[in-house]
Amino acid sequence: MIEQKQLKGLVFRTSERKPVVEDGRKKFVHERVERPLTPDDILSATDYDTFTRIVTKDGRKYDIPAAGKGGGAIKEKGE
């Protein structure tokens, strides 16, 4: 089970749809939103010996320390 302290420093990126009026017409604009990552944002987690690899709902992959091995992210995959 992933704990919040293991997700320290990780960011969940998404967008919100907001209505705007432009030229007298109502339309929608998608604005970027960033917030701290929570355990509810995790799609899957695979445990390895010293780290856990997680995949989040925004499509990112992270390697985080295994439970009891420290806090904070090791790195984002693809960097």
Domain boundaries, the chain: 4-76
Q: How many Å from the N-terminal Cα to the C-terminal Cα in the chain? A: 25
Query: What is the C-alpha separation between 62 and 54, in angstroms, rounded?
Result: 5
Q: What is the predicted pLDDT for the residue at 78?
A: 63
Q: What is the predicted pLDDT for the residue at 77?
A: 66
Query: What is the C-alpha separation between 32 and 53, in angstroms, rounded?
Result: 25
Query: What is the C-alpha separation between 58 and 2, in angstroms, rounded?
Result: 17
What is the pTM for the complete model shown?
A: 0.73
Per-residue pLDDT of the chain (79 residues; tens, 9 = 90+): 788 888 999 999 999 999 999 999 999 999 999 999 999 999 999 999 889 999 999 999 999 988 766 555 566 666 5
Q: What is the predicted pLDDT for the residue at 33?
A: 96
Query: What is the C-alpha separation between 48 and 3, in angstroms, rounded?
Result: 16
Q: What is the pairing mode between strands 42-47 and 51-56?
A: antiparallel
Q: What is the predicted pLDDT for the residue at 69?
A: 61
